[in-house]
Amino acid sequence: MAGISLDNLSFKYPGAQDATLSKLNLNIANGEAHALLGASGAGKTTLLNILSGLLRPTGGVLRFDDLDVSNQQGRERNVAQVFQFPVLYESLTVAENLAFPLKTKKLQSKVITQRLDYICSELELDELRSVKPAKLSLFQKQLVAVGKALVRPDVSLVLLDEPLTAVEPRVKWRLRQTLRRVQADLKVTMIYVTHDQTEALTFADRVSVLTAGGILQTGTPEEVYASPEHEFVGHFVGSPGMNFLPANALGVADAERVGFRPEWATLTGNQPSSAQKRGHLHGSVLRIRVQGAKAGKPFGLVTMATSQGEIAIRGYIPDTSITAGDSLGVCVHRCIGYTNELKVSDIEFL
């Protein structure tokens, strides 16, 4: 196990105009569960390949603890990887698959048995030991792939490349739970690469949001969600993302634009035509999306058109008779001010 540090790490594909990754700086603590969150094309895969040793950085340094591994082969780094779809040795049984990375390391058979027992009980794979991968469900296969990554006692880093893609939605959270539990038990450094914010935020201790080859923010899921440092982070994290309006729409003076989460605002019924108050808006309903009901009261998402742009508001739907086209007031409780896309202020309205 190791702490990972990226020091001005850059990468440019030969012949490419722009660098795919430019001067990334990131420290991941030993035993941390870290998520790299970004859309396709943000450079996630390139970074992943640099971490696994498939690509060499064209600038900067990659360190495992204090060791510069920038030019080491993948096999020298003790890195394990779980891929988007289950990658197993198809001619070997589950137990043989799990033992494979140990056997190549020429470990004693006693150690191998011990590790195997441990991993099998941790991942509840005992009953599948003598089964070939072809007979397993995708969930089980991916579980074995995870086991194969964790089985080595000396593994310094486990990379997870969207490991839940192939798994059925219904069991995704179970695999994620297992991963999280094992990660906490074994204190393995893990880097989870994904475009799915739910996966990133639920899995990780800390999240880095990546776009166009740069890291915009690194922080705990709470920080990334509740106070995005960059407008893109606010937009990308959260479903739907942050609402952005010109700052004057909410009467905020010290920023260019303001952003607020859909649940940081409530619908207030029809707005009296009094002078504009700070944090108050009005607009007309575009769509109502009911997402459920609690104690008989429906809740969901209401999209509104205001004079300055479209916004979404989440919460209880105050009056079930509202329909598209109705004019309603909106009261924003909190917002974040941005100038040049960067956070400059955090405002709570009274």
CB 175 within 8 A of CB 163: yes
Question: Can you tell me which of 29, 111, 290, 342 binds another protein, judged by CB under 8 A?
Answer: 290
Helix (H, G, I), strand (E, B) or coil at 236: helix
Q: Assess 316 for contact with another protein (CB under 8 A).
A: no
Q: Assess 300 for contact with another protein (CB under 8 A).
A: yes
Question: Residues 175-194 vs another protein: string with x where CB under 8 A?
Answer: -xx--xx-------------
Of the pair 145, 247, the CB lying nearest another protein is at: 145
DSSP 163: T
Q: What is the 3-state secondary structure (H, E, C) of 303-348?
A: EEEECCEEEEEEEECCCCCCCCCCEEEEEECEEEEEECCEEEEEEE
Q: Assess 324 for contact with another protein (CB under 8 A).
A: no
Closest C-alpha among 334, 280, 278, 330 to residue 304: 330
Question: Can you tell me which of 112, 131, 153, 196 binds another protein, judged by CB under 8 A?
Answer: 196
Helix (H, G, I), strand (E, B) or coil at 171: helix
Q: Assess 14 for contact with another protein (CB under 8 A).
A: no
**Contacts with another protein in 90-149 (CB under 8 A)?**
90-92, 100-101, 104-105, 148
Of the pair 102, 247, the CB lying nearest another protein is at: 102
For residue 240, say if its preceding peptide bond is cis, omega within 30 degrees of 0.
yes
Question: Can you tell me which of 15, 272, 292, 325 binds another protein, judged by CB under 8 A?
Answer: 292
Of the pair 6, 99, the CB lying nearest another protein is at: 99
Residue 40 CB, nearest approach to another protein (Å): 6
Question: Can you tell me which of 64, 203, 244, 349 binds another protein, judged by CB under 8 A?
Answer: 203
Q: Assess 282 for contact with another protein (CB under 8 A).
A: no
Q: Assess 294 for contact with another protein (CB under 8 A).
A: yes
Torsion of CA 61, 65, 71, 72, to 10 degrees: -160
Closest C-alpha among 174, 208, 172 to residue 35: 208
Which one of the spans 57-65, 88-96, 244-252, 267-275 is the region binding another protein (CB under 8 A)? 88-96
d(CA 260, CA 334): 7
Q: Assess 79 for contact with another protein (CB under 8 A).
A: yes
d(CA 85, CA 47): 19
Residues near 228 by Cβ (< 8 Å), separated by ≥ 6?
217, 234, 237, 242, 259, 336, 343
Of the pair 92, 256, the CB lying nearest another protein is at: 92
Helix (H, G, I), strand (E, B) or coil at 272: coil
Report the phi/psi class of residue 202: left, alpha or beta, with left for phi > 0 and alpha for psi in -120 to 50: alpha
CB 44 within 8 A of CB 38: yes
CB 154 within 8 A of CB 104: no
Which one of the spans 197-205, 251-259, 326-334, 335-343 is the region binding another protein (CB under 8 A)? 197-205
Question: Can you tell me which of 270, 287, 307, 340 binds another protein, judged by CB under 8 A?
Answer: 287
Paired tokens of 160: 């997870």
Question: Can you tell me which of 15, 16, 17, 40 binds another protein, judged by CB under 8 A?
Answer: 40
Using CB under 8 A, list all residues that contact another protein: 39-41, 52-54, 73-75, 79-81, 83-85, 87, 89-92, 100-101, 104-105, 148, 168-170, 173, 176-177, 180-181, 195-198, 201-203, 221-222, 224-226, 236-241, 261-263, 287, 289-296, 298, 300, 303, 314
